[in-house]
Amino acid sequence: MKTFAKYEIVGRVGQLKDGNGVLRITIAAEYGRKDNNGDFQSKPFWNEVNIWNENVIKWAKENVAPGDLVRSEGTIRQEQWEDPNTGEARYGVSLNSDSFDNYSLAIRKQIERQAG
């Protein structure tokens, strides 16, 4: 039996950060709710995904902008490292994207086709 750890995020892009062979994209997933008065209270959770594929990095830099609605799917991995200042063990989670889609881009292209 194959084992795996996987994630899927659909949300809005915050930032694109380029660095040493990886593109990091922050995505806000919205977990808002209505309060006792029936008003919607926004509660976004920010996640940062890593894109390692050079072709996908190039495509994302040309086609993804803050505010775009995107979907990212990939592997999730817990990591451990030593804090260089204290020497203490630190832990985190890495989200490595295997599939990245821009829903906003598809909508923009559809509007352009209809207008053209």
* Band (53; pLDDT cuts 50, 70, 90): very high
* Domain architecture of the chain: domains with CATH: 6-115 (2.40.50.140)
91 vs 113, which has greater pLDDT? 91
Q: Which two tokens stand for residue 54?
A: 């050079």
What local confidence, expressed as pLDDT, does residue 107 receive? 82
Q: Is the pLDDT of residue 116 over 80?
A: no
Asked whether the whole model's pTM tops 0.85, one would answer no
Q: Is the pLDDT of residue 43 over 90?
A: no
Can you tell me the distance from the alpha carbon of 34 to that of 109, in angstroms, rounded to the nearest whole number? 34
Nearest to 17 by CA among 76, 69, 57, 74: 57
